[in-house]
Structure 1
Amino acid sequence: MNRQAQAVLLSLLGGAVLYAGSTDLYLRYVKAGLRPLMLGTGIVLIVAAIATIWYERRRRPTTQDSHTHREPRISWLLVLPLFALILIKPPALDSYSGMRTGTALPVPFGFPALPAGSPLPLSVLDYAGRAVYDHGRSLHDRQIQLTGFVAIDKDGTVYLIRMILNCCAADAQPVKIGLTGQVPPVLQPDTWLEITGTYTSKQTTDPLNNGAIPFIDVQQAKPVQAPSDPYEGLG
């Protein structure tokens, strides 16, 4: 693989990163706030490729250059990750990952006042943090709406889960909320649900890491399409 071939590969990689950053595809890899960095990275790669081609065309050939050894052909295998990025849309992490990792509930930096409205849409992370660390003080007498995917443990307990990201999908961890009340009798794991319900003081402990898992008292549950961004960020 000579310099020009490397430059072409670099430009294709930059184009793929730009494509991912300009569509919802990037949400399968990193959290939403990193879109500008994805776009910037794609632009830098393309500029570097153009600069490499320009330099190669301007450079005068020398005897030493004419005897320069090419890179081994196995280096073309570097094209495979590029094709994977272009052709394969990785699935979002699901209940299999969620139920094999302990619930992750970082201590929040305070609890801002909740806006008016009923039902009140909250992130799974926000509800769980208020239920565990604030003992539900801001959730009393409020009808709450949560969206997540279903997971069921070996005892039949149903959980609503969202995977949270600190940076990218590689560091994703689940936040789990147990469902009680009017839980639909037949549910399939990985079904996305929109839950409407109220705070309950019921909690359990995740056997994987002893993390606290709060519950919500379900009043209504309906299947929904998976959101374009299946993850929740830490900020």
Structure 2
Amino acid sequence: MLPALTGAAVLRISLFSDLYLRYVQPGLRPYLIVSGAVLVLLALCTAVAGRRAADGEGHADHADHADHGEHGEHGHGEHGHAHGPGGPRVAWLLALPALALLLFPPPALGSYSAEREAAQRAAQGVGAFPALPAGDPVDLTLAEFGSRAIYDSERSLKGRTVRLTGFVTHGDDGTWYVTRLLVSCCAADATTGKVEIRSAEAPPAGTWVTVTGTWHPEGALGTDAAWPPVLDATRVRHVEQPANPYEKR
């Protein structure tokens, strides 16, 4: 029963929906589908084997009782015991996590996780970056914006209008940030990327927004004073959470 529930839950989030993107990178989808199918197939094979074994045991007991009847015996003693359940009832508690994943998949990591995560750098060392695409506004990930703002010796963000998408987090001093969780493989290795937003009123924490604005230089390149990078907002637009809420680190 437990493998069947687990397999069904994995198939639900990976084969029949995009919910798996809350937990792992898109490239892992085929492995999740195969794993879920194997678990369901294993559960079916186990159920069929158990049914055949039970039928065989039933036929053997019937023949044994018939043999005892011919000799005037009545099946008392060692053949009179009752078969109990396959295991302790408390073992069914192991099915609860799989059932919860099947019926109520947990949400993606959000503002609470981001606020508890230490600031991470998206690049190492100061240097030149490739030129940005022509035309404004230019869509950037938070990792791309942060790398250029903190480490780009050519100051490629200067004078450009950029557009960033993420969810809102609040600082203790009234500041607010567009935030995104960055992953290499899955949600377990998530770290935080964020950009401080100025010149705009803060939406509620956890709200997904797309912010358009210009880079506001702060601190010397490659120093702690340049973190987090700052954007002077000209427009803040509420948006739906994307199917994949994470950025690839």
| TM-score, reference length from structure 2 | 0.75
Which residue pairs with 1:14 in the alignment? 7
The CA distance in 2 between the partners of 1:53 and 1:203, in whole Å, is 65
Alignment check: 8 A CA contact 2:139 2:163 kept:
yes
Alignment check: 8 A CA contact 1:203 1:213 kept:
no
- Which amino acid in the other structure matches residue 16 of structure 1? A
- Which amino acid in the other structure matches residue 234 of structure 2? Q
Which residue pairs with 2:26 in the alignment? 32
Alignment check: 8 A CA contact 1:105 1:211 kept:
no
Which residue pairs with 1:195 in the alignment? 211
Q: Do structure 1's residue 177 and structure 2's residue 195 form an aligned pair?
A: yes
Which residue pairs with 2:242 in the alignment? 227
- Which amino acid in the other structure matches residue 22 of structure 2? R
Q: Do structure 1's residue 212 and structure 2's residue 230 form an aligned pair?
A: no
The CA distance in 1 between the partners of 2:33 and 2:177, in whole Å, is 36
- Which amino acid in the other structure matches residue 140 of structure 2? L
Deviations 1:172-214 (A, max 9, x none): 221111112x322x5322222211112222259xxxx999311
The CA distance in 2 between the partners of 1:93 and 1:13, in whole Å, is 21
Alignment check: 8 A CA contact 2:150 2:226 kept:
no
Cα 1:136–1:33 change in 2 (3 A) is: farther
The CA distance in 1 between the partners of 2:154 and 2:99, in whole Å, is 48
Cα 1:177–1:136 change in 2 (3 A) is: farther
The CA distance in 1 between the partners of 2:40 and 2:108, in whole Å, is 28
Deviations 1:46-85 (A, max 9, x none): 232233334445666599xx98983221111111011110
The residue correspondences of 1:1-235 to structure 2 (distance < 5 A) are: 8-22=1-15, 23-56=17-50, 61=57, 70-107=86-123, 111-135=129-153, 137-180=155-198, 182-184=199-201, 186-203=202-219, 212-234=227-249
The CA distance in 2 between the partners of 1:152 and 1:203, in whole Å, is 21
| TM-score, reference length from structure 1 | 0.79
Structure 2 residue runs without a partner (length 5+): 62-81
Higher strand fraction (1 or 2) = 1
Task: Give the length in aligned residue pairs.
Answer: 219
The CA distance in 1 between the partners of 2:51 and 2:204, in whole Å, is 59
Cα 1:211–1:20 change in 2 (3 A) is: farther
Higher-Rg member (1/2): 2
Deviations 1:118-169 (A, max 9, x none): 2111111111112112246332332111011111211111211101122222
Where 1:197 maps in the other structure, the secondary structure is: strand
Deviations 1:100-124 (A, max 9, x none): 2212223269845433332111111
Which is further off, 105-114 or 73-82? 105-114
Same amino acid, percent of matched pairs: 41
- Which amino acid in the other structure matches residue 227 of structure 1? P
The CA distance in 2 between the partners of 1:16 and 1:151, in whole Å, is 31
Cα 1:52–1:229 change in 2 (3 A) is: same
Alignment check: 8 A CA contact 2:5 2:102 kept:
no
**How far is 1:9 from its partner?**
2.8
- Which amino acid in the other structure matches residue 109 of structure 2? L
- Which amino acid in the other structure matches residue 131 of structure 1? A
